[in-house]
Amino acid sequence: MKITFPGNKKVNGGDASGPTPIDLFLASLGSCSGVFVLNFLKMHYLPENVYLTLNPIWNINEYVIEKIELFIHLPPGFPAGFDHALVEVAKRCLVARHVKIAHDIRIVRDEGPAPKQAV
């Protein structure tokens, strides 16, 4: 994955015109969990008009998200007895599983390819 910066913090729109990197992280978590939930609903012929919301709990001192609450909103009249299964299937999200483990992130300075010599 290559990430470029075309100017003025424009990673994803820039100038506050797009989501921040942390917004993208949260969106990836929510959409990943949502796909697992929707697949479960489809497989069991259940109503698919659900939506998810995330509530990040920030540790202000460390400026990191300490906890993320993910809510699965079900339509009125949704059949009872599926709550536990929906929570468990949402936990299968690969993004959520990756967040739970410590990663060794190696940051390396790279000057890129050598400049081309004039002929």
Number of structural domains found in the chain: 1
Which residues constitute the domain of residue 71?
22-99
pLDDT tens for each residue of 53-106: 999 999 999 999 999 999 999 999 999 899 999 999 999 999 988 888 888 989
Assigned domain for 90 exists: yes
Residue 112 confidence (pLDDT): 74
Assigned domain for 45 exists: yes
Assigned domain for 84 exists: yes
The model's pTM = 0.75
Assigned domain for 79 exists: yes
Assigned domain for 114 exists: no
Assigned domain for 78 exists: yes
**Domain at 71, CATH number:** 3.30.300.20
pLDDT tens for each residue of 9-49: 655 555 666 778 898 999 999 999 999 999 999 999 999 99
Assigned domain for 36 exists: yes
Predicted confidence (pLDDT) at residue 4 exceeds the cutoff of 60 = no
DSSP the chain: ------STT-SSSSTTSS--HHHHHHHHHHHHHHHHHHHHHHHTT-----EEEEEEEEETTTTEEEEEEEEEEPPTTPPTT-HHHHHHHHTT-HHHHHHTS-----------SPPPPP-
